[in-house]
């Protein structure tokens, strides 16, 4: 199988925001962190820049004049683009975030945007984009395929792990669906490492994010004799009907039924459980098994055509 290596060392970001102060904040944040970016003041202007600039990531407000963020998202997805789209939603417009995910958004942030949270998200996506291999499509009709991968608990290896999983899965599907699967696997594997193998709870993570000490928290847990030798296992099975990834960690599990429902307005903008919630839109089915340290993600082939 011939592999093509795509390295995107200069990730391009498009900011679409009608509020001048918010747009200036985002521009200043990206400029000070040496990101390449362009900006637009409304959806129509944003779509024109998108077609000319071909960004890797679009960061767009939802409520805007002329063309709002949802209309811009639909226009982008109509082009079959695999551009990652992050929606920005304000208090009182939480239900639009759900609508955006149904329309193909990859993530969302609440206003006022936290600089640390946005930079963390961009860093994660940049690592994915910088580590993309794409196998040439193979002739023939898929009957079945399976493999098993085991790896150590290492956060900085997640993009490469996902890349390997995608290569071995050999997904002959469009780029937009492929990036959804990649981002979904990143969320689920991150969750398995953070809350599974390293036993970091949501309040600890939120406190570390607020203090800018998340990296220190990861290192502290990974150096612990209790957690340092734990592994993650991914089992993949494909047949003529579906692709299925089963991710297992060695943590104590959790009561997955107790996760807050982010579709409730009181919870949608919370960090707690957001990665798991978003992954439900990136796959056709997410199922937790037993005590919660096994999750099965399914993509039905009929929905990829």
Span 274-280, mean pLDDT?
A: 78
What architecture is the 136-304 domain classified under in CATH? 2-Layer Sandwich (3.30)
The reported pLDDT for the residue numbered 6 is 40
The reported pLDDT for the residue numbered 3 is 33
Q: Is the pLDDT of residue 111 over 70?
A: yes
How far does the chain reach from its first CA to its final CA, in angstroms? Answer: 23
> What span, in angstroms and rounded, lies between the C-alpha atoms of 3 and 37?
29
More confident residue, 200 or 16: 16
pLDDT band, very low/low/confident/very high, at 240 (cuts 50, 70, 90) = confident
Q: What is the dihedral of CA 180, 189, 113, 80, to 10 degrees?
A: -10
Domain ranges in the chain with CATH number 3.30.565.10: 136-304
Superfamily name and number for 9-129: Response regulator (3.40.50.2300)
**Helix 175-191 vs helix 158-169: angle between axes, to the nearest 10 degrees?**
130
Q: What is the dihedral of CA 164, 166, 172, 178, to 10 degrees?
A: -140
Domain ranges in the chain with CATH number 3.40.50.2300: 9-129
Give the global pTM.
0.76
Rounded to 5°, angle at Cα 277 from 232 and 85 = 100
pLDDT averaged over every residue in the chain: 83
Tracing tokens 């996902």 back to the chain, one arrives at: 162
């Amino acid at each position: 199988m011939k592999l093509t290596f795509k390295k995107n060392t200069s990730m391009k970001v498009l900011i679409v925001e009608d509020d001048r102060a918010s747009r200036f904040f985002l521009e200043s944040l990206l400029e000070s962190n040496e990101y390449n970016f362009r900006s637009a003041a409304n959806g129509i202007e944003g779509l024109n820049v998108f077609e000319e600039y071909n960004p890797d990531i679009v960061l767009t407000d939802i409520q805007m004049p002329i063309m709002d963020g949802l209309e811009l998202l639909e226009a982008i997805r109509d082009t079959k683009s695999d551009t990652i789209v992050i929606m920005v939603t304000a208090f009182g417009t939480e239900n639009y975030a759900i609508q955006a995910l149904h329309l193909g958004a990859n993530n969302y942030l609440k206003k006022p945007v936290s600089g640390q949270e946005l930079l963390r998200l961009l860093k994660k996506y940049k690592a994915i984009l910088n580590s993309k291999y794409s196998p040439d499509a193979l002739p023939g009709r898929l009957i079945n395929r399976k493999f098993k991968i085991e790896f150590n608990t290492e956060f900085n290896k997640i993009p490469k792990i996902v890349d390997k999983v995608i290569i071995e899965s050999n997904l002959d599907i469009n780029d937009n669906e492929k990036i959804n699967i990649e981002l979904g696997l990143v969320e689920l594997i991150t969750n398995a490492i953070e809350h599974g193998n390293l036993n970091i709870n949501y309040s600890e993570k939120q406190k570390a994010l607020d203090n800018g000490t998340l990296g220190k928290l990861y290192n502290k847990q990974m150096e612990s004799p209790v957690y340092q030798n734990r592994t993650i296992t991914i089992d993949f099975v494909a047949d003529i009907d579906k692709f299925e990834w089963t991710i297992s960690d060695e943590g104590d599990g959790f009561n997955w039924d107790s996760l807050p429902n982010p579709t409730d307005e009181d919870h949608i903008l919370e960090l707690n459980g957001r990665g798991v919630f978003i992954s439900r839109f990136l796959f056709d089915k997410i199922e937790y098994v037993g005590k919660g340290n096994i999750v099965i993600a399914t993509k039905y082939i009929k929905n990829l055509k």
